[in-house]
Chains A and B, each alone.
Chain A
Amino acid sequence: MNIKKFVSSTIAMGLLTLTVGASASDTVFHGSLCNPEFPADVSKLEYGQFGIDNSSGSTAFLSCGANTPILATINTVSIITYDRNPSTNVSCTLVLTDIFGNALFSQTQSTTGSGAGFMQLLYNPGVGTHTVNIDCSLPPNSGGNVSHVTTYRIITP
């Protein structure tokens, strides 16, 4: 009897923990989910293992949506990019919007310099929202080296 009680209490506690913790989320999105922002950008962008990149000789603009839990508080957004252009940076504007598209919080972050390795753009809004949009500009290719948005990660408490 005691063993039965112990087992059922343990299971109940486990289920409760799972339920209470269900609202937290940490989701990563692949850069290939991003879309060209303007018709002129369609032919500039390529998609692949490293997300989305700009193979053209001029800056390309892209827009990335996300699938967040409704009414989530967004604590952290992290974007992994590769900036291969020494004179122009990768720049991304995070906009948290309500269900009607009104901005609740926005912030722009840019890379500095350039290099072979990845660079992270980090945002800490801490604002409750309905959904998330990220607009980025990718610099032109530099000597055949292209800049990417590879992944973006959204963390809610």
Chain B
Amino acid sequence: MGRFLIVVVAFGLVTTASIVLWRRYSANGGSAAAAAAAPALSTEVARLRTEVEALRSRPPGAPLIVKYSAANDGASAPTPATSAAPGEESAEVKMERIERHAQATAEALDRRLLSEGRDASWGNEALARIDESVKSKLPNATLVESTCASTVCRVVLKQESTDDQRTVGSSLSKSPPFDQGTFYRYDTSSVPPKTTLYIIRSGHDLAELTGAETAQFAP
């Protein structure tokens, strides 16, 4: 009888200790989970605040447009590093300069296309190849424009989506006349998206064709 009592008391103590330990473990696990979820929660709160502010400032009847900043949008695109060594450009400044240089390059090529004479032999051959390559490599794209002068051609393509737009380079870069040298400009804001390709005639390069016109934006 005495032994039976000892076994029952021991069993009770072990069970109580197990319950207490399990509760403590759960509580600790919960805190860890809560700590892990804290940044996500902060992001969510920031997003909600932005939405509330947008709702408050919206004129009556106007559609709700919420602009999330990178800080409160957890799904934003990867942000480049912003720190720069003293005397060195930050990533933002560099990106801006590169974009200005690319835009100036495109504009200089547009002007060249208008001003330089036409080499009928090279131009006609290039136009025929452009048509062939676009039809065979990008059958879902629409060739909106193709123009050639004597050192440069401009090709404008219209595609269904920005996903389709991403395939332009890999589809055309090795096909004639794009293989001679191609500079790409993407217009993702137009609907449907458009891509402008400038073909540089073999034996020439961008610096030579755009010259001093883009020098002010050059590195």
Chain A residues within CB distance 8 Å of chain B: 16, 19-20, 22-23, 70-71, 73, 93, 95, 97, 99-108, 124-129, 135, 156-157
Contact = CB atoms under 8 A, between A and B. Distances in A.
A70 B181 CA distance: 22
Interface stretch (B3-11, B66-74, B94-102, B136-144): B94-102
Nearest to A137: B174
A108 B179 contact: yes
Interface in B114-150: none
Contacts of A97: 169
A101 B94 CA distance: 19
Given A20-B87, A70-B80, A103 B98 contact: no
B173 A103 contact: yes
Contacts of B50: none
A135 B98 CA distance: 25
Nearest to B168: A103
A65 to B, nearest CB: 15
24 contacts: A20-B87, A23-B88, A70-B81, A71-B80, A71-B94, A95-B169, A95-B170, A95-B173, A99-B78, A102-B165, A102-B168, A103-B170, A103-B184, A104-B183, A106-B179, A107-B182, A124-B206, A126-B207, A127-B206, A128-B94, A128-B101, A128-B102, A156-B219, A157-B219
Q: Which of A73, A93, A126 has the most CB of B within 10 A?
A: A126
Interface in B169-193: 169-170, 173-174, 178-184, 186
B89 to A, nearest CB: 7
B205 interface: yes
B86 interface: yes
B13 interface: no
B85 interface: yes
Contacts of A124: 205-207
B218 interface: yes
Contacts of B178: 106
B166 interface: yes
B40 interface: no
B184 A71 contact: no
Contacts of B80: 70-71
B219 A93 contact: no
B38 interface: no
A98 B183 CA distance: 13
A71 to B, nearest CB: 4
A105 to B, nearest CB: 5
A70 B169 contact: no
A145 to B, nearest CB: 25
Contact of B182 (A101, A105, A135, A156): A105
B139 to A, nearest CB: 19
Contacts of B174: 93, 108, 135
A20 B125 CA distance: 47
B91 interface: yes
Given A19-B88, A70-B91, A106 B206 contact: no
Nearest to A124: B205
Contacts of A125: 205-206
Contacts of B166: 100-102
Contacts of A100: 166
A75 to B, nearest CB: 8
A106 B173 contact: yes
